[in-house]
Amino acid sequence: MEQRFFYCPVCGGALIKSCLNGRQRLVCSKCGQINYENPIVGVAAIIRNSKGQILMAKRAPGLTYEGLWCIPCGYVEYDEDILAAVVRETQEETGLVIEPLEVYAVHSNFHDTKQHTVGIWFKTKIIAGKVLPGDDVCELMWSDINNPPVLAFKTDEYVLKQLISDEV
């Protein structure tokens, strides 16, 4: 485990490495607070048009995997429900207002060795809006799920393969 934090968020004491329940953890040397490094939760919107194409987002310059494509996605805020997060992130990135219909897939993402995330993909329905690239996106396109552009994330590949399999 690469140490990313050095001081306790509760009291400011130094964090020390300790073995707890067979796992290496960082524990505060002053107050005993255990620093759990949990994954961050992300959401993604599977948006299909009447032709069965899926909306794909090209990642903006400055982001990890810039210039590569992904299913529109983003992080859940600390105090935010996952349904609200997928609606918010979709509107920020695509200009579309969507309704989440169902959880379609859940995957652990190990794309970034410094940050483990858990992604939740939702099937959605467009309610309103116009497709316009926004926050974190430089381009949007409707893509055939059988012939997607070069993808940023392996987990999006899994989701597309699952969609293809479900349609057979």
Nearest to 135, CA basis, from 99, 94, 106, 77: 94
Domain count, the chain: 2
Burial tier of 119 (Cβ tally within 10 Å: 0-12, 13-18, 19+) = buried
> Active-site residues: which are they?
139
| Residues 6 or more apart in contact with residue 8 via CB below 8 angstroms | 14, 15, 28, 30, 31, 33, 35
Question: Other CB atoms closer than 10 Å to residue 82's CB: what's the count?
Answer: 15
Here the CATH number for the domain that contains residue 27 is 2.20.70
**Do 80 and 18 fall into the same domain?**
no
- The tokens describing 20, both together, are 């707890």
**Do 14 and 47 fall into the same domain?**
no
**Do 50 and 29 fall into the same domain?**
no
User: 59 - beta bridge partners?
Assistant: 137
pLDDT of residue 145: 96
**Do 106 and 152 fall into the same domain?**
yes
pLDDT of residue 1: 53
Per-block mean pLDDT, blocks of 10 residues, the chain (168 long): 84 94 93 92 98 97 94 97 98 98 96 86 98 95 97 97 93
Enclosing domain of residue 22 = 1-37
**Do 24 and 107 fall into the same domain?**
no
**Do 32 and 46 fall into the same domain?**
no
**Do 95 and 163 fall into the same domain?**
yes
